[in-house]
């Protein structure tokens, strides 16, 4: 069997496995972030409880997709790009979902009823960053539109900076004006987890920028 024939045995499988898994994982994050935005904008307790369940379910799906990527990486002789980058990107995407679910879980467990403007703003920023992350991931399969990936990564970095500012101002206001120490702790934890979700989006963007450079 010629070297080209050998390569054909591996390459089609990689393209059919890795990229669809990444695309599914990215789409799943957007779905979770969308549910989060719906949650913080809902005034219906029963509806929020249902949304919390849906977020949990999607986070579990994300875990399964990440696990599948790790398994395929172990089984594949040839991978579409560097193994460390595959691992880092899969982990970053999973971490976005984990932090979104973590914030939602705290809202649920703490029985938060008053979703403040900073919480709603951070939820919106998480969704925006997730949408751009998915746009970039969709271009990884052929790397023909690297400008789309680069632009999405730039926007994610800008969104993360906005999230830092919202978080810092919100925490400062909590310490300045909130007299209930327990309430302060609850809200600070939720804000921190939401802000961390944007950090994870930036981590994913950084990995994709590295992939572009390595494959230029």
- Give the pLDDT confidence score for residue 77 in this predicted structure: 74
Q: Across all residues in the chain, what is the average pLDDT?
A: 92
Judged against a pLDDT cut of 90, whether residue 46 lies above it is answered with yes
* pLDDT tier at 14, thresholds 50, 70, 90: low
Instruction: Specify the residue for token string 């499988």.
Output: 13
Find the largest Cα–Cα distance for the chain: 75
How far from 67 is each of 24, 25, 30, 200, CA to CA, in Å? Answer: 13, 11, 19, 18
With a CB cutoff of 8 Å and minimum separation 6, the contacts of 162 are 125
- Three-state DSSP state, 111: coil
Judged against a pLDDT cut of 60, whether residue 30 lies above it is answered with yes
CA–CA gap between residue 51 and residue 136 (Å, rounded): 27
Domains of the chain: 3-214 (1.20.58.220)
Share of the chain above pLDDT 70, in %: 92
Question: The dihedral of CA 155, 159, 160, 162: what is its sign?
Answer: positive
Q: Which two tokens stand for residue 43?
A: 């005034």
For range 193-203, the mean pLDDT? 98
The more confident residue out of 77 and 100 is 100
CA nearest 94: which of 65, 118, 135?
Answer: 65
- Give the pLDDT confidence score for residue 15 in this predicted structure: 57
CA–CA gap between residue 130 and residue 193 (Å, rounded): 15
The more confident residue out of 35 and 145 is 35
Q: Which two tokens stand for residue 6?
A: 């050998």
- Give the pLDDT confidence score for residue 143 in this predicted structure: 84
CA–CA gap between residue 215 and residue 78 (Å, rounded): 15
- Give the pLDDT confidence score for residue 142 in this predicted structure: 83
pLDDT in tens, 139-196: 999 888 899 999 999 999 999 999 999 999 999 999 999 999 999 999 999 999 999 9
With a CB cutoff of 8 Å and minimum separation 6, the contacts of 73 are 79, 83, 86, 87
């Amino acid at each position: 069997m010629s070297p080209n024939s050998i390569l054909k045995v591996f390459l089609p499988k990689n393209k059919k496995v890795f990229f669809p898994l990444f695309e599914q994982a990215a789409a799943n994050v957007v779905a979770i972030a969308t549910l989060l935005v719906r949650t913080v904008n809902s005034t219906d307790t029963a509806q929020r409880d249902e949304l919390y369940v849906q977020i949990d379910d999607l986070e579990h799906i994300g875990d399964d997709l990440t696990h599948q990527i790790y398994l395929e990486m172990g089984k594949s002789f040839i991978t579409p790009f560097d193994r460390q980058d595959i691992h880092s990107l899969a982990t970053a995407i999973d971490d976005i979902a984990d932090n979104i679910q973590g914030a939602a879980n705290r809202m649920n467990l703490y029985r938060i009823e008053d979703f403040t403007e900073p919480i709603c703003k951070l939820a919106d920023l998480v969704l925006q960053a997730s949408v751009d992350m998915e746009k970039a991931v969709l271009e990884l399969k052929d790397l023909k539109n690297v400008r789309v990936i680069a632009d999405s990564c730039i926007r994610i970095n800008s969104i993360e900076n906005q999230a830092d500012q919202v978080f810092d101002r919100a925490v400062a206001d909590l310490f300045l004006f909130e007299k209930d120490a327990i309430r302060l702790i609850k809200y600070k934890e939720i804000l921190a987890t939401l802000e961390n979700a944007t950090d994870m989006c930036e981590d994913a963007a950084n990995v994709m920028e590295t992939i572009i450079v390595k494959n230029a």
